[in-house]
């Protein structure tokens, strides 16, 4: 049984008239009648009671009509889905993100995707450090990453999302608590709470900034997540220097103060350079058109020959 035969049969069944069905199908009546007779011969059942005045479905025809409409509906829906996926208007994209990006950038990304690509489904994998996101991209476990450059793996492309200033988190009773920006040199004698994970770009950038201010930070406590890190600060166990995205968090007993030094940490999106996904291409265009990313900005690439490289 061919799809074409089902289409012919449904047209006759719905119009109850071979002539009108032929007009709907843009064909002559004679080949339509012949096609229906061939279908009946294949099935071994009469599908229509035909008289000179009317065409009515037999019980066998009624049974076939239910299945034929369902089958043709499924085929049409499949064709529509394929066209939409091929055009990048629907499908699933898996998005990874650093912990802090989940509070500020992911909601903005989701709003843009919902408005510009309403058929697109996003699945978020938040709270992933940059090395883990790069590996997930390489292993095709995520399609898009929100991370901190520089990228350390070849085959990835990236665009800048934001250059974030630094803030220092101190207990509310701390001597530096207040409205005035803090210079990193003022933290020379403080205990530091850090992320303390291998290849943390934030920790590396903070250490380098402190060295430029004339001291090596005294790393006393470590936490893998920003919320836990701030909890340790609230307990009076030290101070922490973080990207300004931490301002989206509110932890009782902690005050976040701007850092006066001219230091920033980049945030970027990254993806597999050779990813053929039309949906990813459309989302990247939508993000750029809506100001989420900044085109043509060189990002550090960890000594790899990867243009526009983008690690936490």
At 147 the three-state DSSP class reads: strand
Q: Where in the chain is the domain with CATH 1.10.10.10?
A: 3-70
Cβ-contact 243, 200 below 8 angstroms? no
E strand residue ranges, 206-293: 218-222, 240-243, 254-258, 264-272
CB-based contact 199:173 (threshold 8 Å): no
- pLDDT at res. 81: 64
Cis peptide before 150 (omega within 30 of 0): yes
Burial call 112-122: b when 16+ CB within 10 Å, e when fewer: bbeebbeebeb
Q: Which residue has the higher pLDDT, 11 or 306?
A: 11
Contact predicate 172/255, CB 8 Å: yes
pLDDT at 183 over 50: yes
Residue 113 in contact with residue 122, Cβ under 8 Å?
yes
Q: Give residue 168's pLDDT.
A: 97
pLDDT band at residue 305 under the 50/70/90 scheme: very low
Task: Name the band, by pLDDT with cuts 50, 70 and 90, for residue 196.
Answer: confident
List every span in the chain annotated with CATH 3.40.190.10.
Answer: 81-161+267-290, 162-265
The whole-chain average pLDDT of the chain stands at: 87
CATH of domain 162-265: 3.40.190.10
Q: Tens digits of per-residue pLDDT, 259-285?
A: 999 999 999 999 999 998 888 999 999
**CA 193-245-173 angle, 5° bins:** 45
% of the chain surpassing 90 pLDDT: 55
Cβ 8 vs Cβ 25: under 8 Å: yes
* Residue 26 reports pLDDT greater than 70: yes
- Nearest-angstrom CA–CA distance, 207 and 187: 12
Question: What is the predicted pLDDT for the residue at 225?
Answer: 84
Per CATH, which fold does 3-70 belong to?
Arc Repressor Mutant, subunit A (1.10.10)
- Domain 81-161+267-290: CATH class, spelled out: alpha beta
């Amino acid at each position: 049984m061919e799809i074409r035969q089902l289409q012919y049969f449904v047209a006759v069944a719905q119009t109850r008239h071979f002539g009108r069905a032929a007009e709907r199908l843009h064909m002559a009546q004679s080949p339509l009648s012949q096609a229906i007779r061939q279908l009946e011969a294949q099935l071994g059942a009469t599908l229509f009671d035909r008289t000179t005045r009317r065409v009515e479905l037999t019980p066998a025809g009624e049974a076939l009509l239910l299945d034929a409409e369902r089958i043709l509906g499924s085929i049409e829906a499949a064709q529509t889905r394929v066209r939409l996926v091929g055009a990048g208007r629907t499908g699933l994209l898996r998005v990874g993100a650093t912990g802090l990006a989940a509070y500020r950038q992911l909601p903005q990304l989701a709003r843009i995707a919902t408005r510009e690509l309403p058929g697109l489904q996003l699945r978020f994998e938040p709270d992933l450090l940059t090395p883990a996101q790069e590996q997930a991209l390489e292993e095709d476990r995520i399609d898009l990453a929100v991370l901190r450059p520089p990228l350390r793996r070849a085959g990835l492309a990236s665009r800048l999302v934001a250059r974030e200033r630094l803030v220092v988190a101190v207990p509310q009773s701390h001597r530096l608590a207040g409205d005035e920006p803090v210079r990193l040199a003022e933290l020379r004698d403080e205990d530091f709470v850090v992320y303390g994970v291998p290849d943390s770009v934030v920790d590396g950038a903070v250490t380098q900034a402190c060295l430029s201010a004339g001291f090596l930070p005294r790393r006393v406590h470590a936490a893998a997540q920003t919320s836990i890190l701030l909890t340790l600060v609230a307990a009076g166990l030290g101070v922490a220097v973080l990207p300004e995205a931490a301002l989206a968090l509110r932890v009782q007993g902690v005050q976040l103060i701007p850092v006066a030094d001219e230091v920033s940490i980049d945030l970027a999106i990254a993806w597999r350079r050779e990813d053929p996904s039309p949906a990813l291409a459309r989302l990247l265009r939508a993000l750029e058109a809506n100001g989420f990313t900044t085109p043509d900005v060189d990002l550090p690439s960890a000594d790899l020959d990867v243009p526009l490289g983008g690690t936490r």
